[in-house]
Copies of this chain bind each other. A is one copy, B any other.
Amino acid sequence: MKLFDGGRAPNPRRVRVFLAEKGIEVPLVPVDMGALEHKQQAVSSRNPLQRLPVLELDDGTIITESVAICRYFEELYPEPPLFGQGALGKAKVAMWQRRIELNLLSSVAQAFRHIHPAMKEWEVPQVPEWGEANKPKAIEFLKLLDAELAQREFAAGDSYSIADITGLIAIDFMKPARIRVPEECTNVLRWHAAISSRPSAAA
């Protein structure tokens, strides 16, 4: 088994943090996304979408999409559960993982890809107006999340889950996207500090 990894990019990091929380070690194949190596043969032949991460099993089976790779390891190594427990617990993790992904991570990614000069070759055409339109979407969602985090420790309940990992990578991705967590979102800031201090955050 080997994991084609993309360094600082959010989705490769999501899988590395997940694996660190599970205590699983998978051999990494580093791919230099800054040098556009993910558009070359090694990745393209495994994932025609030319995106990372890509997991290759020993028999050559390919799994792409960060959350699908996490799901694979969750099923093989259920402890600690990072996709929730019980029907309602699993639904709540799915709900918050998606809410954070579709409203925060996606908005931050759109702002970054459509505004940052380094993304000119990645996002064609760049539409700066669309990038700017995403900044208030991200802020609006952070305020909603702040009200939720006033009531509980983690994004989806009292246990750490993949929803928190998606939150971690989304908020850390705000820095290159030049968006700041509003100072009044004290619960988001407390939560982000807590999940950042876990050893997995360094993965």
Contacts and interface: CB of A to CB of B under 8 A. Distances in A.
A133 B63 CA distance: 28
A36 interface: no
Given A63-B95, A91-B63, A133-B125, A144 B49 contact: yes
Interface majority SS on A: helix, strand, loop or mixed? helix
B133 A95 contact: no
Q: Please tell me how many copies of the chain the complex holds.
A: 2
Contacts of A69: 91
Interface in A69-121: 69, 71-72, 75-76, 86-88, 90-92, 94-95, 98-99, 103
A91 B72 contact: yes
A75 B90 contact: yes
A92 B63 contact: yes
A87 B95 contact: no
A64 interface: yes
Interface of A: 48-49, 57, 61, 63-65, 67-69, 71-72, 75-76, 86-88, 90-92, 94-95, 98-99, 103, 125, 127, 129-130, 133, 144
A133 B125 CA distance: 7
Contact of A88 (B61, B67, B129, B133): B61
Given A49-B103, A127-B127, A95 B68 contact: yes
B125 A129 contact: yes
